[in-house]
Amino acid sequence: MTQIPLICNNISIENDRLLFAGQDTAELANQYGTPVYLMDENRIRERCRTYLGAIKQAFGGKGKALYASKASSFKRIYEIMKEEGMGIDVVSSGEICTVLKAGYPLSNAYFHSNNKTDADIAYAMDNGIGYFVVDNTEELLAVQAMAAKKGIRQKILLRITPGIDPHTYAAVSTGKVDSKFGSAIETGMAEEITKLALLQENIILSGFHCHVGSQVFDSDVYLRAADVMLTFISDIKQKTGYVAEELDLGGGYGVRYVAEQPEIDIRENILGVGKFIIDKCAQLNISVPEIAFEPGRSIVADAGMTLYTVGSVKKIPGYKNYVSVDGGMTDNVRFAMYGSPYTLFPAKGLHRPFDMRCSVVGRCCESGDIIQNNVPMPQDIKRGDVIACLTTGAYHYSMASNYNRIPRPPIVMLKDGESYVAVRREKVEDLVNLDV
């Protein structure tokens, strides 16, 4: 039997069949059609609890976990976040509208993005957004002006660029200075925007934010970021007397797409970051700010799986084998965008030898429409077979497109042996209806 990498504990094999959250994937494909996004609700809840528990423990009962909802934004997920006591990040009026429809209190939300429009700012304020995470000076003044117009005082964090390169694990003093996000400490802009924020009448500066990157496996990155940010907080205190109440360390913890990637122990990591922060604050003689983390991917990624049905199988002798599926870059753009690795295998017949290497490709008119290259599959994989792509809960549905007028798949939630539709399958009529 071929070694099947069970990269997350919600994947199992029974009688040669692939189960997800304990449910038969071939049967789910049959019931809901393909392509379909499956989401394991219990896994999502478990991840939220891991973050909340670790943060509480690390920071003496204080601290926040904010779900970065751009990873996967739909009504049901915000209901789950509300039930779990998670804060959230939003990045657009569209996400805010979804949050409101879910009955999630917007006062627990942080509004990110490097370019919020005036309409976004007004909409967020009208609906009582908790915080703006202000990216730059121009935006600071736009938020101030809107808050003045509406006669409110708006809480904000300032997004600071700490100059950390998460991919080489080295502090690169100029590497991130040219980022489109935030104000860099290196250039003096971070200090400048802080002083300016403190002068604004309708702004309450709650503290600072940074986000070093995504799919990060080395917790050292968070220690470095915390180090730089706490030093900045201490510097600002000395220069202005201002004491930051909150420090938001962003998201980015990596997840397992393939067996070669490690599984991060989130709890251990956060406890380590907590200890570092408490020691560092003592050393700098500043009080420990309320710490926030903003996990996106690591909350939902391995709670997701996509099922496809195989269409044409093309074997080009001496060259390459192609297995085409009924989805592609429209529901999974991550290989096309980042060359991301994935684990794929059939929903049944898992005893067969995986004796063929193939590219699993989509149905779009684009050569780059590839889910993954060099995938081991059984030789006799054929039209009508269901195959699963693992770890598709983050940045799949939320990045889906309608290229080639392909409707987006539904999201089917799995919970305690039951399943239900959280987002229905898009219809071609949904698309045509926009045409006037």
Ligand X SMILES: *Cc1c(COP(=O)(O)O)cnc(C)c1O
Q: Which residues bind ligand X (CB under 6 A)?
A: 68, 70-71, 89, 112, 211, 214, 250-253, 294-298, 394
Question: How far is Cα 263 from Cα 341, in angstroms, rounded to an integer?
Answer: 15
Report in angstroms how near the CB of residue 53 gets to ligand X at its nearest.
18
Annotated active-site residue in 97, 210, 364, 365: 365
Nearer residue to ligand X within complex by CB, 291 or 394:
394
Collect all residues with Cβ–Cβ distance below 8 Å to 228 and sequence separation of at least 6: 162, 163, 164, 171, 185, 210
Give the Cβ contact number of residue 191 at 10 Å: 17
Minimum CB separation of residue 430 from ligand X in Å reads 27
Report which residue's Cβ sits closest to ligand X.
296
List the alpha helices (DSSP H) in 334-424.
334-338
Strand partners, 208: 158, 247
State in angstroms the smallest separation of the CB of 395 from ligand X. Answer: 7
Structure tokens at 172: 């690169």
Question: Which residue type, as a one-letter code, is found at position 331?
Answer: D
**φ, ψ (nearest 5 deg) of residue 227:** -55, -55
Strand 23-24 relative to strand 203-209, pairing? unpaired
List C-alpha distances in Å: 317 to 55, 314, 358, 375, 380.
Answer: 55, 9, 12, 17, 15
Give the length of the chain: 436
Dump the DSSP string for 207-255. Answer: EEE----SSB--THHHHHHHHHHHHHHHHHHHHH-----EEE----B--
CB nearer to ligand X: pick between 20 and 253: 253
Residue 112 or 256 having the CB closest to ligand X: 112
Per the annotation, the verdict on 281 as an active-site residue is no
**CB of 167 vs ligand X, minimal distance in Å:** 13
Q: What is the DSSP letter of 68?
A: E
Residue of 87, 114, 332 whose CA lies nearest to 211: 114
Report strand pairing: 164-165 vs 170-171.
antiparallel
Q: Smallest distance from the beta carbon of 301 to ligand X, in angstroms? A: 8
Rounded distance between C-alpha atoms, residue 423 and residue 421, angstroms: 6
CB closer to ligand X, 51 vs 345: 51
3-state secondary structure of 30: helix
Cis-peptide, bond into residue 341, ω within 30° of zero: no
- Residue 119 Cβ vs ligand X, minimum distance, rounded to whole Å: 21
In the bound state with ligand X, the residue whose beta carbon lies nearer, of 63 and 252, is 252
Our CB check for ligand X shows the closer of 70 and 408 to be 70
Give the residue with the Cβ less far from ligand X, 250 or 274: 250
Place of tokens 């504990």: 9
Phi, psi of 114 (to 5 degrees): -85, -5
Joined tokens for residue 421: 């539709």
In the complex, minimum distance from the CB of residue 38 to ligand X, in angstroms, rounded to a whole number:
19
Q: Give catalytic residue positions.
A: 365
